[in-house]
Amino acid sequence: MAADLVLSLKNDPAEIARLAPLVDAFCARHGLAEATAAQFNLVLDEAITNIISYAYEDAGEHEISVRISLTRGALTAELVDDGREFDPLQVTPPDLAAPLAERSVGGLGVHLMRRLMDDISYRREGARNHLVLAKRIA
Amino acid sequence: MAADLVLSLKNDPAEIARLAPLVDAFCARHGLAEATAAQFNLVLDEAITNIISYAYEDAGEHEISVRISLTRGALTAELVDDGREFDPLQVTPPDLAAPLAERSVGGLGVHLMRRLMDDISYRREGARNHLVLAKRIA
Amino acid sequence: MELTTVKIGTVSVLDAAGRIDSVTAKSLEEKLLALIKEAPPALVVDFAKVDYISSAGLRALLVAAKQSKAAKCKFALCSLKAQVREVFDISGFGTIIAIHPDRASALAAAA
Amino acid sequence: MELTTVKIGTVSVLDAAGRIDSVTAKSLEEKLLALIKEAPPALVVDFAKVDYISSAGLRALLVAAKQSKAAKCKFALCSLKAQVREVFDISGFGTIIAIHPDRASALAAAA
Ligand SMILES: Nc1ncnc2c1ncn2[C@@H]1O[C@H](COP(=O)(O)OP(=O)(O)O)[C@@H](O)[C@H]1O
Ligand SMILES: Nc1ncnc2c1ncn2[C@@H]1O[C@H](COP(=O)(O)OP(=O)(O)O)[C@@H](O)[C@H]1O
């Protein structure tokens, strides 16, 4: 039996801290390590925070849907939002060798997503962004 | 934040006992009474057992999908299967006043579903049955 | 589901435990029919440790109740938990199968 | 997130606790900039009770580190939990912010 966690979040940053314990419980039930759950939660935070911060052209309420599943050896989250078209894979990686004075204060969110996930794919479907984040499970 | 439980079961009766603790946990997280979870589990059992027993014309593996959600004051399950078209609302209720010798040994599954749920709706969509079972939450 | 049989005097008592559902109901039915074949004057099924019953379990009990009647064996249940009792009530079983609150009263009625 | 400030000699120490994320990072940044304004010789942020940090928190620390440098205040962190440390490492913060294993070594280095 495959059991997915399907969530519908509002574009409110407070939703992210509410999501975390559900992801922890999902991972615990499937016997995944706490560290895996923590990394997955961080990546979800980064992706959802970006959607809330940058995706919308109006100030209204929007729905972000998240579906978390464990299939074929990977923990996967699919995020769907109705914001502007945006593919995080196109973001230029930050320069992590720059000295303090020249270090940019942004650009770390997408970097963390890429470093902590094994596979990220993006597609635009109609008026929606679909971002699939996958982490292989040993 | 709305959190749904989305499950994909095989047409194997053993799946039902695996589903029960997930439904219990879902209900507990939403502060629903244990008795509500127990009734809901019984109804899911009856509906899924019927699909497994009667819906398929072949002996192959089939998927039954279950989506459990809590919305607008109701605990709801939507079951989707690819078996033969069957609307349980059309089943004639059993005669519960008959004496032992004349009492039919079948027909109690759909009866329990109807008695324990507040609302049941059925529709056929393409090659699939959609059965929505809803219980109002006080 | 687990089943344990004991004889109390001439009465057969079957202790059931766990889940009685479409996976386990067939074993319950077989066990009950085997016990009835032994022709005891009465057969009591103790539900004290049964957490769950679905219509598949009710069907097995109804088959056994019918068979008991034919075999002139008094058939009764006892010690149902509230959520199990509700399933029997909704199914109208109270009028066709004797249901006792506890084992002592079931044995007294069987005597 | 909770923040508590203590002075140890002339060094300012900020004890942070809980989650540092997009909801709480702004308060951390404001607190750090206010502390730097007081012009202590050194500022240590103790992460012993921090369970979680996202890039929003890293941004706040980077802003504070830059500001400290301009204000000639030694800026350091200490006592990071493993999962928090990993986020700093992946972000290349080890080369630009002093990170000490515990409070004692952070204070020794600040002296
Ligand atoms: N969902 C999104 N929609 C539009 N633009 C985005 C989205 N997510 C990220 N971006 C853009 O990509 C940039 C890099 O994002 P990120 O790596 O998370 O760093 P930061 O948010 O700190 O700038 C953002 O500054 C923003 O311009
Ligand atoms: N999913 C289904 N597909 C086809 N027929 C069904 C389905 N569910 C129930 N039925 C029919 O409805 C009847 C009544 O079902 P139910 O009330 O559960 O009692 P029982 O299974 O004990 O007969 C069944 O005997 C079967 O003929």
Given this model, what pLDDT does residue B71 score?
85
Q: Is the ipTM of this complex over 0.85?
A: no
Any D CB within 8 A of A93 CB: no
DSSP-derived pairing of the beta strands D42-53 and D74-78: parallel
For residue C99, report the phi and psi dihedrals to the nearest 5 degrees. Answer: -120, 120
- Band (pLDDT 50/70/90 cuts) for residue B94 is very high
| Ligand whose nearest atom lies closest to the CA of A11 | 1
Which of B:22-81 have CB within 8 Å of C?
A: 35, 38-39, 41-42, 45-46, 49, 52-53
Does the C-beta of A80 come closer than 6 Å to ligand 1? no
DSSP, collapsed to helix, strand or coil, labels residue B68 as: strand
Quick: pLDDT tens for D42-67: 999 999 999 999 999 999 999 999 99
Which tokens sit at B30? Answer: 């939403």
Residue B135's nearest CA partner among B104, B109, B112 is: B112
- What per-residue confidence (pLDDT) applies to D52? 97
Sheet containing A63-71, strands listed edge to edge, beginning at the edge strand earlier in sequence: A119-125, A128-136, A74-81, A63-71, A2-10, B2-10, B63-71, B74-81, B128-136, B119-125
Give the pLDDT of residue A71: 85
Q: What is the pLDDT of residues C5-51, one digit of tens each?
A: 999 999 999 999 999 999 999 999 999 999 999 999 999 999 999 99
Tell which C residues from 10 to 29 touch B, by Cβ distance under 8 Å. Answer: 19, 21-23
Q: CB contact, 8 Å: B123 with chain C?
A: no
Backbone angles phi, psi at B96, to 5 degrees: -85, 0
Check pLDDT > 80 for residue B113: yes
Q: What is the rounded CA–CA span in Å between residue D69 and residue D34?
A: 15
pTM across the whole model:
0.85
Are C48 and C14 contacting, i.e. CB atoms less than 8 angstroms apart? no
Encoded tokens for D51: 């369970």
Distance, in angstroms, between A132 CA and closest chain B CA?
A: 18
CB atoms C59 and B105 under 8 Å: yes
Which chain C residues contact residue B53 at CB under 8 A? 22
User: Residue C73 gets which letter from DSSP?
Assistant: -
**Mean per-residue pLDDT over chain D, rounded:** 97
Q: How many CB atoms lie within 10 A of CB A11?
A: 20
CB contacts of A53 in chain D (<8 Å) are: 22
Contact A103 D96 (CB under 8 A): yes
Q: Which of C19, C20, C22 to mutate to test the interface with B (most CBs of B within 10 A)?
A: C22
**Nearest-ligand number for the alpha carbon of A114:** 1
**pLDDT at residue A78, rounded to an integer:** 98
Least confident of A64-68, A71-75, B101-105: A71-75
pLDDT for B72: 80
Task: Report the C-alpha gap between B12 and B62 in whole angstroms.
Answer: 9
CA D21: distance to chain centroid? Answer: 14
Tokens of B20: 């029960």
pLDDT at D29 over 90: yes
Tokens standing for D83? 């999962």
Q: pLDDT tier at D17 (50, 70, 90 boundaries)? A: very high
Q: pLDDT over 90 for what percent of chain D?
A: 98
- Write out the two tokens for B97: 């006043």
Q: Which ligand is nearest to the CA of B62?
A: 2
How far is the alpha carbon of B21 from chain A, nearest alpha carbon, in Å? 11
Which residue, among A9, A11, A98, has the nearest Cα to A56 in the 3D structure? A11
CA distance A17 to B63: 34
Identify whether the C-beta of residue B16 lies closer than 8 Å to the C-beta of residue A16: no
CB atoms within 10 A of CB D106: 24
Going by C-alpha positions, the residue among B25, B136, B138, B19 that lies closest to residue B79 is B19
Q: Check: CB of residue A7 under 8 Å from CB of residue A52.
A: no
Percent of chain B with pLDDT over 70: 100
- List pLDDT tens digits, range B7-65: 999 999 999 999 999 999 999 989 999 999 999 999 999 999 999 999 999 999 999 99
pLDDT confidence of residue D111: 83
pLDDT at residue A38 is higher than 90: yes
pLDDT at residue B138 tops 80: no
The terminus-to-terminus CA distance of chain A in angstroms comes to 20
Which residues does B90 contact at the CB level (< 8 Å), separation at least 6?
none
pLDDT single digits (tens) C50-104: 999 999 999 999 999 999 999 999 999 999 999 999 999 999 999 999 999 999 9
The vertex-B109 CA angle with B106 and B111, nearest 5°, equals 100
Helix or strand holding residue B49 (H, E): helix B34-50
Instruction: State CA D40 to chain mean position distance.
Output: 14
